[in-house]
Structure 1
Amino acid sequence: MPAGSPKVPVKFDKVQKYFGPVKVLEQFDLDVAPGEFLVLLGASGSGKTTALRILSGLETATAGRVVIGERDVTNILPKYRDVSMVFQSYALYPHKTVAENIGFPLKVRRVAKAEMDSAIRDAASQVQLGDLLDRYPRELSGGQRQRVALARAIIRRPSVFLMDEPLSNLDAKLRGYMRAELKHMQQALGITTIYVTHDQIEAMTLAHRVAILDRGVLQQLATPAEIYNDPANLFVAQFIGSPPMNIVRGGLEGRYFLTNGARIDSPVGGHVDKAILGVRPEDCAVVAPENVALKGVIYTTELIGDHTLVTVEIGHDKLTVKASKDIHGNQGDTVGVALRREHLYVFDAASGQRIR
């Protein structure tokens, strides 16, 4: 098998991409550490796949530089960039066996047959395909096909793995299994990995760091814990979390947030006419209405299993509370919602920026 590449950094330096008048990436700066598992997270059209394709050489940047290791690869052909890409669609050769699909990158390099056979068996064993080497893609399940694609990427021992939504075609149970396999494999191999997804669970469970994009602009780059607990703006706060962060509209007056006739102790001070208070469902509690300032009526309850989601309608806003599975309450009941002050976030309603 080709010798493993040393861990290398990756750098996007003021990368811009336009398709005609349409801006897809704007002043995109990103440094990926050697051996890091970095996830590019965003909705459709956010620019994440375009960034990956620019790094692979499948797209050309309108402006800026791309650096892999010490090499500026901005104008280098894809085959000379030493990257391996795994696609959502698997991209397997239907007329080749599993072994032939996995070994194809080495066949192109004209690696000796004995060495290639050994490398194929090794790569296949890493993704638990050792007993399926003689099968064809049509004889495999979706998860098995994806593992063939991963093995084909592994066998090259590239400087960088690039993965574009590789698990999105799998069912929920298999996605969970493959997430664990991917994380284990990447840590074992130590290869710098950039992974594109719109699935926040994949991002939170796989990444060393997450880069969140919206309309071609990097919104925040941080660890999953920092993204969740210290969002930079309203977009990030609502994009991460399931259910998403609750928001309540109102105004900031000194040390109080005023909304729906209630005065709520704010973690920050100031005077903002139109502000938004954010709080995650697990940081709320349903209580007796006479005990708190914030009151509303139960809109719906949903028993999830180990907990119940209670949605409370307060004026024009709805708050979802993660409550005990044994909570009692009926639609239309008046209740209070207690908020943990130390876990409240305040945002400027106009800009969406966090008020700290």
Structure 2
Amino acid sequence: MTIILDQTSKSFGSVEVLRALSLEVKPGEFLVLLGASGSGKTTALRMIAGLESVTSGRILIGSRDVTHVLPKNRDVAMVFQSYALYPHKTVFENIAYPLTVRKRPKAEIEKSVRDVAQQVQLDHLLERYPRQLSGGQRQRVALARAIVRRPSAFLMDEPLSNLDAKLRGHMRAELKHMQHELGITTIYVTHDQIEAMTLAHRVAILERGVLQQLDTPANIYNRPANLFVAGFIGSPPMNVLEGSLADGRFDCSAGSFGTASRASGRAVVAGLRPEDGRLAPPGQGQLAGEIYASELIGDHTLVTCRCGGATVTVKADKDFAGSIGQPIGIGFEERAVHLFDKASGERLQ
């Protein structure tokens, strides 16, 4: 089922939290709304669900304009961060609730609940109560309750944020597989870029209510639309160096190098992903600096260097043994450099 937001805005009094957001979620697509707190992503989700009114613009589910339609008539299922389970009902009763309120036949409810419970590996826990379950099991009950009535779309508001890191990784894989099997359009809200990059077919990045970029995870990572996206996506984030561009050559306090751009006479910011840099002996490479910190992560070492007035982090081999204060060079393939206009922050083509 297609979901369309057409120039959709939301204001609370004089505060505009979502500004003319337009996007189309394709049938069966897993779209992630990604942003920091206050970016407007949860407000957008709640507007699609009908839990928040629309200040201006339209929302369409399929070919139907649902801008002013009650939540119960939108045929979407929402999964909340807090699980929102009924503590006095068993797992079976919690999952069955959407069918029970619709007065479906008892035999149909029984079969549907048991089928979905098996799908999310809860079939042996149907007689338990939420208080007897782990966080991951409770989240699976919430998912099963959303799945059981086969809605047109799933709306998920940070459903994994209450889980520990190991369980979160497991549940990401479960969610991705489940959504693929069901083929139901899903809009997922998170502030976690790892969730966004691993789950989504496409990611919509929001900042202060404005859409910054809408694209596949690979394109967002490899061709960020602006400096905000470049700094928001990636762990550790992209290194940035301020300098000037003349005849396609970038100059800054830490060094100089050629670029693919032939532009001249403008202040720019050069971006370099940590994995695209390599450490070199002093005097070699395009940048000169000294080691500021070294952190063994496991399969690699993060080496942060002071280069002029900036810091540059490089992913080095796990056996790297440099010491703090040691002079160092940093080299890279010049085609790996991203260029942004300093004034606007927009990517230079």
Q: Does 1:219 align with 2:212?
A: yes
Tell me how far 1:84 sits from its aligned partner.
0.1
Kept in 1, the 8 Å contact 2:250–2:257? The answer is yes
Match in the other structure for 1:333? 326
Match in the other structure for 1:134? 127
Tell me how far 1:312 sits from its aligned partner.
0.5
Tell me how far 1:261 sits from its aligned partner.
5.3
Q: Secondary structure at the match of 1:157?
A: coil
Match in the other structure for 2:316? 323
Equivalent residues, number: 349
Tell me how far 1:81 sits from its aligned partner.
0.2
Mapped to 2, the partners of 1:292 and 1:277 lie a distance apart of 16
Alignment of 1:34-113 (within 5 A): 34-113=27-106
Larger deviation, residues 201-210 vs 262-271: 262-271
Mapped to 2, the partners of 1:175 and 1:293 lie a distance apart of 40
Kept in 1, the 8 Å contact 2:212–2:225? The answer is yes
Structure 1 consecutive aligned stretches of length 4 or more whose deviation exceeds 2 Å: 271-274
Larger deviation, residues 257-266 vs 90-99: 257-266
Q: What amino acid does structure 1 have at the position aligned with 2:165?
A: A
Q: Secondary structure at the match of 1:354?
A: coil
Tell me how far 1:222 sits from its aligned partner.
0.5
Q: What amino acid does structure 2 have at the position aligned with 1:163?
A: M
Q: Does 1:159 align with 2:159?
A: no
Q: Does 1:288 align with 2:281?
A: yes
Mapped to 2, the partners of 1:91 and 1:185 lie a distance apart of 21
Q: Does 1:202 align with 2:189?
A: no
Q: Does 1:30 align with 2:41?
A: no
Partner residue of 1:305 out of 294, 298, 305: 298
Q: Does 1:19 align with 2:40?
A: no
Match in the other structure for 1:4? none
Structure 1, gaps ≥5 residues long: 1-7
Alignment of 1:119-198 (within 5 A): 119-198=112-191
Kept in 2, the 8 Å contact 1:272–1:348? The answer is no
Mapped to 2, the partners of 1:263 and 1:120 lie a distance apart of 64
Larger deviation, residues 327-336 vs 249-258: 249-258
Q: What amino acid does structure 2 have at the position aligned with 1:139?
A: Q
**Offset from partner CA, 1:158-185 (integer Å, 9 cap, x none):** 0000000000000000000000000000
Mapped to 2, the partners of 1:21 and 1:50 lie a distance apart of 16
Tell me how far 1:271 sits from its aligned partner.
2.6
Mapped to 2, the partners of 1:113 and 1:205 lie a distance apart of 39
Q: What amino acid does structure 2 have at the position aligned with 1:57?
A: G
Kept in 1, the 8 Å contact 2:153–2:185? The answer is yes
Structure 2, gaps ≥5 residues long: none
**Offset from partner CA, 1:127-159 (integer Å, 9 cap, x none):** 110100000001111100000000000001000
**TM-score normalised per structure 1:** 0.97
Q: Does 1:10 align with 2:39?
A: no
Kept in 1, the 8 Å contact 2:58–2:67? The answer is yes
Partner residue of 1:275 out of 268, 286, 293: 268
Tell me how far 1:328 sits from its aligned partner.
2.3
Match in the other structure for 1:3? none
Q: What amino acid does structure 1 have at the position aligned with 2:285?
A: V
Mapped to 1, the partners of 2:119 and 2:227 lie a distance apart of 41
Kept in 2, the 8 Å contact 1:267–1:345? The answer is no
Q: What amino acid does structure 2 have at the position aligned with 1:308?
A: T
**Offset from partner CA, 1:255-277 (integer Å, 9 cap, x none):** 11110152211221223543111
Mapped to 2, the partners of 1:217 and 1:258 lie a distance apart of 32
**Offset from partner CA, 1:276-322 (integer Å, 9 cap, x none):** 11000000011012222410000000011111000000121000000
Mapped to 2, the partners of 1:172 and 1:74 lie a distance apart of 37
Mapped to 2, the partners of 1:269 and 1:247 lie a distance apart of 20
Kept in 1, the 8 Å contact 2:4–2:61? The answer is yes
**Offset from partner CA, 1:62-81 (integer Å, 9 cap, x none):** 00000000100001000000
Mapped to 2, the partners of 1:220 and 1:293 lie a distance apart of 31
Tell me how far 1:334 sits from its aligned partner.
0.2
Match in the other structure for 2:237? 244
Mapped to 2, the partners of 1:291 and 1:210 lie a distance apart of 38
Q: Secondary structure at the match of 2:264?
A: strand
Mapped to 1, the partners of 2:254 and 2:329 lie a distance apart of 13
Kept in 1, the 8 Å contact 2:284–2:330? The answer is no
